[in-house]
Structure 1
Amino acid sequence: MTEALTPQAWQAIWLTLKLALITSLLLMVVATPLAWVLSNWQHKTKPFVLSILALPLVLPPTVLGFYLLVAFSPQSTLGGAWVSITGHPLAFSFEGLVLGSLIYSLPFALQPLYSGFTQLDRRYLEVAQTLGLTSFQRFFKVVLPLCKAPAIVAFGLSFAHTVGEFGVVLMIGGNIPGETQVLSIALYEQVEALQYQDAHALSLCLLIFSFLLLTGLYRFSGKGALGWNLASR
C-alpha cells in the first residue's frame, strides 16, 4: 500500500497528522477547564450555552466553514488583525485550519469530559476538601486522575475527527499542497482526477486508521463517554 502513495500523498498525510495533533492538544487545554466549569454550573441559560457549543455536531460543515471564511477574511476584525500581526491572511493558511478545527472539533473533546465530570462521585472532592486541598489541588490531584478515561477518549475523538474533516477544511483552507491540502482533500482531488488507484490507497489509510483508533478507544473506555459521543453524532 505504501508503494502506491505519491510524495504529495505522504505530504498530505504528514500535514493531516500535524493538524490533528496540534488541534487535539489545544482542545484538551481549552475543553478540560470549560467542561469542568459547565459541569458545576447551574443556570437557566445552561441548555442554551450547551446548544451553542454542540452546534458543530449537527451543523453542516459547509455552513460553519462559510461563516469561518467570512470571519477569517482580511475585511473582518479577526482577519484584519491577523494580517496586521503576521503579514498574511488567516484564510487559506495552516493557522486558519488549526483555528477552524478547534471550533469544529470542540464538541468531540468537550462532551466526553463533561460526561465524565458530571458522573464523578463528589464525595472524593468532599474528602479532599476536609484534608485541606485547595480547589486547584482538588482538580489536578483528584478530578483529573479519576477522569483519565474520558480525557483519553476526548483526545482520541478530537484527533480522529480532525483527521476526517473535509467541508470546513475545504471552505477555509482550499487545496494548497504542503499548506492546506490534508488527507481528505487529497482524496477528493484524486477522485476528481479519476485516479482511483491513488484514491483507494488514501481511503484505505483512513479506513485502517479509523478502525484501529476506535477499537483502541472502545477497549480502553468500555462503554460510557465514547458511546455517548458516538450516539450524539
Structure 2
Amino acid sequence: MDWTPLLLSAKLAFWTMVLIPVAAAPLAYVLAFGRFRGKSVLDAVVTLPMVLPPTVLGFALLVILGPLGPVGAAWEDLTGGRLVFSFAGILIASLVFNLPFAVQPLRASFEKMDPRLLESAAILGLTSTEAFFRIILPNCIGGLAAASILVFAHSLGEFGVILMVGGSIPGKTQVASIAIFEAVEAMRFNDAFLLSAALVPISFAVLMIINKINARRP
C-alpha cells in the first residue's frame, strides 16, 4: 500500500491552512466593515468558488494558470517551470477553492466584535490598517484558528479542482481523493478502503478541535 497520496494531501492541506489567512483575513475585514460601492459584487466574487461546480472552477484556473494564461506565463518567465501539473499549481487552486470557506467564518467573527473597541481605536487615532492588526486580529484569534483548521479538513477531500489543475502525477499531484477514485476504477478496493479509513479519523479529529474552539469563544 502506497501512502504517498495521503502524505501529499496532508502537505497540501497544511500549506493551504497556513497561507489562507493572508488572503482571507483582509477580505473578511473589508466585507465586515467596509462601506463602498461594489461591495456586494466583491462579496459575490469571493463566495463564487463555494457555489461553482469544482470542474468549472478547475477549468477556469487551468486556463489562468496554464502556460498561455497570465499567471502561468508570468510564473514560467520567473521560474522556468510550468505552474499547472505541479504542487505549486494545486496549492494555488486549493487556496482559491477554500477562500470562501475561510472568509465567511472570519467575517462572522469580526462582525461579532464589540463595536466600542473600534470606536475607541478611532478616537485614539488608529488607522484602519492599525486597527486591523492591533484590535481586530488579537480579539478574533479563535475565529481565525477555527477557519484555518476548517480549511485544513476541507482541503483533505478536494478532488475536482485539483484533478483539473494538477492531473494525477504520483508523488507530485496525486492526492488521496484522486488515488481513492483511481483505486476504485481499477477495482483495488482494499487500497481505496485503507486510504478512506485513514481520512475519516483525521477529519473527525479536526472537527472536534473546531468544536472545542467554538465552544470557548464568547
- What is the TM-score with the length of structure 2 in the denominator? 0.92
Counting aligned pairs with the same residue, the percent is 46
Deviations along 1:158-184, one digit per CA (max 9) or x if unpaired, are 111111100000111111011101111
What residue identity is the alignment partner of 2:14?
L
Matches for 1:212-223 after TM superposition, within 5 Å: 212-222=205-215
Gaps of at least 5 residues in structure 1 are 1-5, 225-233
Is the aligned partner of 1:99 residue 2:92?
A: yes
Distance 1:83 1:141, change over 3 A: closer
Q: Secondary structure in 2 aligned to 1:165? A: coil
- What is the TM-score with the length of structure 1 in the denominator? 0.86
C-alpha RMSD of matched pairs (Å): 1.9
Distance 2:16 2:85 in 1: 17
Distance 2:197 2:160 in 1: 20
Matches for 1:39-50 after TM superposition, within 5 Å: 39-50=32-43
Distance 1:53 1:135 in 2: 21
Is the aligned partner of 1:16 residue 2:13?
A: no
Deviations along 1:190-210, one digit per CA (max 9) or x if unpaired, are 111111111111111111111
What residue identity is the alignment partner of 1:36?
Y
Count of equivalent residues: 217
Distance 2:59 2:31 in 1: 28
Distance 1:41 1:81, change over 3 A: same
What residue identity is the alignment partner of 2:191?
D
Distance 2:195 2:211 in 1: 24
Partner of residue 57 from structure 2, selected from 45, 48, 64 = 64
Gaps of at least 5 residues in structure 2 are none
Deviates more, 1:138-147 or 1:17-26: 138-147
Hey, what does 1:205 align to over in structure 2? 198
What residue identity is the alignment partner of 1:114?
R
What residue identity is the alignment partner of 1:196?
F
Is the aligned partner of 1:170 residue 2:163?
A: yes
Distance 1:196 1:99, change over 3 A: same
Distance 1:84 1:133 in 2: 41
Hey, what does 1:117 align to over in structure 2? 110
Distance 1:84 1:132 in 2: 44
